[in-house]
Amino acid sequence: MTEKELSNEKAAKFIWSEALQRSIMPFQWGLEFSSIKAIEDGTEFRINAALIQIQYMRKMDLYKVTIIPDDKQRIPIIYESLLLGRLVPVIDETVRHGRLSENFTSHERIAV
């Protein structure tokens, strides 16, 4: 493995161990375990309705979450500058009650 690949894997493991695995929410989103992988400075995984990417923004010591809905008509939802402890609540709000939920009717962004 290259140094960059090791760094990406370390970032992914940190996000999973310190945020995602500490909550039951990823299981309620329909997490597809086989889809979990390391990406540049973070992790990516599929849930029932979307692809989720979480990346560590080193210069700011914060995280970026990109939610790419399966529905091709919807554009990606991007949250920047999130604290580690806000990752799960922000994803959960978007997936279960926000733009990915069946009851969502507005095009406004959810406040973080």
Q: Could you tell me the pTM of the whole model?
A: 0.86
* Chain segment 38-70, per-residue pLDDT in tens: 999 999 999 988 999 999 999 999 999 999 998
CA atoms within 13 A on the CB side of 20: 22
Cα–Cα distance for residue pair 111/24, rounded to 1 Å:
22
Residue burial 61-92, b: 16+ Cβ < 10 Å; e: rest = eebbbbbbbeeeebeebebeebeeebbbebbb
Give the position of tokens 């086989």. 34
* All structural domains of the chain with their residue ranges: 3-97
What would the pLDDT profile of 8-23 be if each residue is shown by its tens digit? 999 999 999 999 999 9
CB atoms within 10 A of CB 107: 8
